[in-house]
Structure 1
């Protein structure tokens, strides 16, 4: 099996599209199709089911995929051991989330854009289980997590910062300016981003221990903040995402401290030797993200 055929197969299997794989690999679509057919011919099996305009992996394709990823990673590792360029370069697929991309990562992204233009950062927005699974499968090279736990099976992590949380509401809210107990929050209108976000799930767990807690979901942090400022309810959000609104007075912080602590982390698959550009990303993430947040 030729390495280039496995690289093409892995890309098609990841994005499930010949057209998108061709674009990401800078090939003509006919080249991608030809390489997949050549690999199928050499193995004597079909790797993809063609379903009109859609494709999916066959059982044989599913079995081949983890081996293809291991072979590709070993080849990349061997190359980096023998020849590492003086200037780091290459594509780094990074799992991230809205709160970090918008409020923590701009200095890190600016650093790579200006200092290391040879490093191409491909950001993928996922959270929690999705990010961890993508790291284990090799779909992501590194991924940011904002979670209570710092140990994750199959992954190595570097804790970058403690991530303070703030319970916020519109000015004039009945709970503003008074001491707030968890029991006081159960009957309040609650606003949140989607399930799967660690701080929302932990907040919901605390409230449901005392009674029913119904959340009005807004999907994004920006929409959730606007709803809170409009007086629709209260919301628990990372402090960094509401700092501007607290400073200008469109939101107020309620006197309730979460009984849990979240830490922003950078994770990668255990046993994977990070190439030079990934190690540089980790080094600068530790420096720039840690400078912004509380050190944990």
Structure 2
């Protein structure tokens, strides 16, 4: 096995398609297929189940991918430790869920950039914590802000923020009397607040058919502000224009929420990431 086989396996595992992995790695598709078959012959196991729709890892393939991710992570850490200077520089790759991308967070980023101008910041937005967890574990991100109960094995929590969840509507002085007449705007599947909305609707014995799915916080808030729909989100998402919305309380069961900043456990912490986490603690950032 060669180190390049690790990258091939990880690319195929990510995309589920040999053609997509070949394009990503700039390899011929036949080369990727041959390398996988060679690995299967070397270890006397089948690593992927093939179909017309793509490939799915077998049990042994899943084990191989887990080891491959660890090997790639260690190689990434080795490279970073060898080249990492004492003064922060290079690229800091941070993931963030849409609900955490607040003005306060941007102020922290601005201060960090002014303090450490040699660091190039790369922000990756997502609505699904699962996507960000995967990117941390595959060394695509140095760390990420993730909402909900999402801390898994292999992740280390470096900072934690508390918030409350509410039904958010356009500005109104009256109570929301009839939930059954409302449409609800949500993020795609995988978002913890979508799951919370669906749970709430089930608890109230309401239909979940009136869901409007959007992919950005801007579109979600536009739907709410215009009165097209209401949403269930942390109260911090309306920080830029609080006068345009009304927050309606939920039961205590649904109210608390947590956003955490996590990184890969037992992974090398670059000087750029170390100073970013220090700034988070110093500024006591809240969303």
Instruction: Give the aligned partner of residue 147 of structure 2.
Output: 146
Residue 256 (structure 1) aligned to one of 219, 228, 249: 249
Q: Do 1:112 and 1:119's aligned partners in 2 also have CA atoms closer than 8 Å?
A: no
Instruction: Give the aligned partner of residue 41 of structure 2.
Output: 44
Could you report, residue by residue, the CA deviation over 1:220-266 in whole angstroms, capped at 9, with x for unpaired residues? 3433433333334543333333233433xxx3324536622212211
CA distance 1:272–1:174, shift in 2 (3 Å): same
Instruction: Give the aligned partner of residue 179 of structure 1.
Output: none
Matches for 1:239-254 after TM superposition, within 5 Å: 239-247=235-243, 251-254=244-247
Per-residue deviation at 1:278? 3.9
- Say how many residue pairs are matched: 275
Residue 229 (structure 1) aligned to one of 225, 234, 237: 225
Per-residue deviation at 1:214? 3.7
Could you report, residue by residue, the CA deviation over 1:191-242 in whole angstroms, capped at 9, with x for unpaired residues? 2313543344445545644x32345322234334333333345433333332
Instruction: Give the aligned partner of residue 272 of structure 1.
Output: 267
User: For 1:38 and 1:231, how far apart are their aligned partners in 2?
Assistant: 55
TM superposition score normalised by structure 2: 0.69
User: For 1:23 and 1:287, how far apart are their aligned partners in 2?
Assistant: 44
CA distance 1:116–1:5, shift in 2 (3 Å): farther
Per-residue deviation at 1:128? 3.7
CA distance 1:69–1:90, shift in 2 (3 Å): farther
CA distance 1:285–1:12, shift in 2 (3 Å): farther
CA distance 1:157–1:196, shift in 2 (3 Å): same
Structure 2 stretches lacking a partner, 5+ long: none
Query: Do structure 1's residue 189 and structure 2's residue 182 form an aligned pair?
Result: yes
Could you report, residue by residue, the CA deviation over 1:112-167 in whole angstroms, capped at 9, with x for unpaired residues? 767455546261524244544555566655332122x4754443213342234454
For the aligned residue pairs, the C-alpha RMSD in angstroms reads 4.2
User: For 2:220 and 2:50, how far apart are their aligned partners in 1?
Assistant: 41
CA distance 1:153–1:99, shift in 2 (3 Å): same
User: For 2:132 and 2:194, how far apart are their aligned partners in 1?
Assistant: 17
User: For 2:174 and 2:113, how far apart are their aligned partners in 1?
Assistant: 46
CA distance 1:246–1:36, shift in 2 (3 Å): same
The 3-state SS of whatever aligns with 2:266 is coil
Structure 1 stretches lacking a partner, 5+ long: 177-183
User: For 2:36 and 2:198, how far apart are their aligned partners in 1?
Assistant: 49
User: For 1:267 and 1:131, how far apart are their aligned partners in 2?
Assistant: 10
Matches for 1:4-43 after TM superposition, within 5 Å: 4-16=4-16, 28-30=26-28, 34=31, 37=34, 40-41=37-38
Q: Do 2:98 and 2:125's aligned partners in 1 also have CA atoms closer than 8 Å?
A: no
